Structure 1
Amino acid sequence: MLRIVVASPSFSRHPVLRQELLAIFPQTQFFDGEKVLAGQALLDHLAAAEIALIGTEKIDGTLLAALPKLKFIAKYGVGLDNIDLEACRKNGVGIGWTPGVNARCVAELTLGFMLGLTHNVFHTTTLLRQGTWHKRGGVQLTGKTVGIIGIGHVGREVIRLLAPFGCILLGNDIEDRNAFCREWNVKLTDKGAIYASADIISLHVPLTPETHHLINTAVLARCKPGAFLINTARGSVVEQAALQAALESGALGGAALDVFDPEPPTDLEFLGQQKLVASPHIGGNADEAVLAMGRSAIAHITRRKKQYFPIQI
């Protein structure tokens, strides 16, 4: 009988997903703690596992070398930046993963950020709670120039959701997205053109060495004055200190972040900025998306097919 071990605390405490996995594999072992396992604690929990179901737990070569029984990892979620793919290959560990399973969910939050920032909803809500009646309604999203950096699963969903707003859409991606962009009236261009002309810049790239601190001091200096920045991708794509300086100086009109480095964030001064909207990495965590991610992981366990796809989000 296969020894299946769930490391993800959020999967373990989800009653529907837990029951569905137990119905197929009754001997599954779960982790009922609250915090994400790491280091020796993760190693101890997975010691007997032949199949591991993980979420954001860090899987590296050192861990895999100490888990000779492990043959397959089912990913609960869409990002692979916490898994050393080359180490998995070297150790013969397969990966079951479905890219884009929560893309619509993340895209909806992104659209909500766009509407909230442009219409000044977040700041005026805060003022109203403090007793200040501040009737400054911002600007319309309609007709604005929106730059989408990363036209993968999430980026494409954002573009589809923006269709009714008549925005001027600029896009950038390392893959060939010509056919999609022609269909949805998106002008493919370089990132520099997006920085210079976009009223809203929305980030939808995976975290790789090339995208680490993609948005930094030099880039923010090139952005259109008063632009809005949205990051629902990965926290390290944006250099936090550079973003804080741009918000404080007024170079940016505002920013919305659903992702941070580290998570959870610890810099309360940064989080308290007037022009910053922050949410606790909930973009892909609506009820429907959580079920879809969990059921995808279960399906990969039942099939156990190795999938070494390029990272997409």
Structure 2
Amino acid sequence: MIQNLTVGVTTIAFSKNVKLMNQLNSLGFKKVKKNEAGKRFTTEELVSFLKDCDVAIIGLDLITEEVLAQIPSLKAISKYGVGLDNIDFEACEKHNIKVFYPQGVNKRSVSEMTLGFMLSLCRNLYVTSNLLKNSIWNKSGGMQLSEKTIGIIGVGHIGKDVISLLKPFNCKILVNDIISQKEYYKANNLTHVSKEEIFKNADIITIHTPLTDKTKNLFNKSTLSLMKETSFVINTARGGLFNQDDLKKALIAGDIAGAAMDVYDIEPPTDLGLLGIPNLMNTPHIGGNSKEAVQAMGEAAIERILDFFNS
């Protein structure tokens, strides 16, 4: 069956990974196409690239009704990565396209980065390092992460992995999730509270939820105003969870002590005023892109295609 299939790989990270591409090419597909341009496709470019494909391995590409209506040969989509807000599932169902996606394959990559953000923000590592590059000797060493109150919004695969990494620091952990997980909370000494209580009481807040209508702009002027002036926020999930203008104003006004972002409304981000704020750590959406996670996500995307077409 697979010898009759053309596979299109739109995601840049997968296309650049020699090991993954060699693995995909060795499986006997009729044709394997990769993103040679090394850039995010526009809608028109995505349609042109996938027009003769039976299967697509996608990353953050927007899979909409407009796109699917123009590529009738497509039978399946295999997601590289864990975010799903870029896929219109109703449109996929309408066009009889199967969608496969992994769960938790990059959790350690993201959770390690989240812990790194926590340590860097608490100990003032980022700010003092940048100052020293400009010959400013600032010995403000911040505060220890140990024994602090951490707020975690979203206790799924990544949220749970962050919790496991925090155990040696003896933190008080406040959690909030739409799914009841009482036994897990009890077993790990977690306190389930409202989002409002997390905003008011946490020294550090990190969010690990999907981007939905209910979570969009969850961090905004109102919620940020509830936070302590000494607290930090971290977003390694989706850019739309934060109102970036409100975050920028809160940081400049000193309403919160600092923030770390790996994701943005527009990627690459264009708001240089936001990126230039001294107490904002910003990285180019690399949370799930450790070498190990890239390989695991790619292999998971391939395995789901094989499982479906060989079953």
Is the TM value for this pair above 0.5? Answer: yes
Cα shift at 1:14: 1.0
Is 1:71 the counterpart of 2:75 in the alignment? yes
After TM superposition, the structure 1 stretch with the greater mean CA deviation from structure 2, 109-118 or 19-28, is 19-28
Is 1:91 the counterpart of 2:95 in the alignment? yes
Detail structure 1 runs of 4+ shifted over 6 Å in the superposition. Answer: none
- The normalised TM-score by structure 2 is 0.96
Question: Could you say what secondary structure the match of 2:74 adopts?
Answer: coil
Is 1:199 the counterpart of 2:203 in the alignment? yes
User: Which residue, 133, 137, 161 being the options, matches 1:133?
Assistant: 137
What residue number does 2:26 align with?
23
User: Which residue, 24, 31, 36 being the options, matches 1:32?
Assistant: 36
Question: Could you say what secondary structure the match of 2:293 adopts?
Answer: helix
User: Which residue, 201, 214, 218 being the options, matches 2:218?
Assistant: 214
Distance in 1 (alpha carbons) for counterparts of 2:289 and 2:123: 25
Distance in 1 (alpha carbons) for counterparts of 2:22 and 2:183: 42
Q: Deviations over 1:91-139 (max 9, x none)?
A: 1110111011101110000000000000000001011111111111000
Aligned partner letter, 2:251: L
Contact 2:248 2:274 in 1 (8 A): yes
Cα shift at 1:189: 0.7
- Which structure 1 residue ranges, 5 or more long, are not aligned? 306-313
Cα shift at 1:10: 2.2
After TM superposition, the structure 1 stretch with the greater mean CA deviation from structure 2, 85-94 or 145-154, is 85-94
Contact 1:111 1:158 in 2 (8 A): yes
Distance in 1 (alpha carbons) for counterparts of 2:135 and 2:224: 34
Distance in 2 (alpha carbons) for counterparts of 1:283 and 1:8: 16
Query: Percent identity over the alignment?
Result: 44
What residue number does 1:148 align with?
152
Q: Deviations over 1:185-226 (max 9, x none)?
A: 110111011011000011111111111100000101111222
Alignment of 1:155-166 (within 5 A): 155-166=159-170
Is 1:118 the counterpart of 2:122 in the alignment? yes
What residue number does 1:5 align with?
8
Q: What's the C-alpha RMSD, in Å, of the aligned pairs? A: 1.0
What residue number does 1:173 align with?
177
Aligned partner letter, 2:10: A
Question: Could you say what secondary structure the match of 1:222 adopts?
Answer: coil
Is 1:242 the counterpart of 2:242 in the alignment? no
Distance in 2 (alpha carbons) for counterparts of 1:37 and 1:289: 23
Q: Deviations over 1:149-200 (max 9, x none)?
A: 0001111100110001010000000012222211111101110110110000
Aligned length: 305
- The normalised TM-score by structure 1 is 0.95
What residue number does 2:190 align with?
186
- Which structure 2 residue ranges, 5 or more long, are not aligned? none
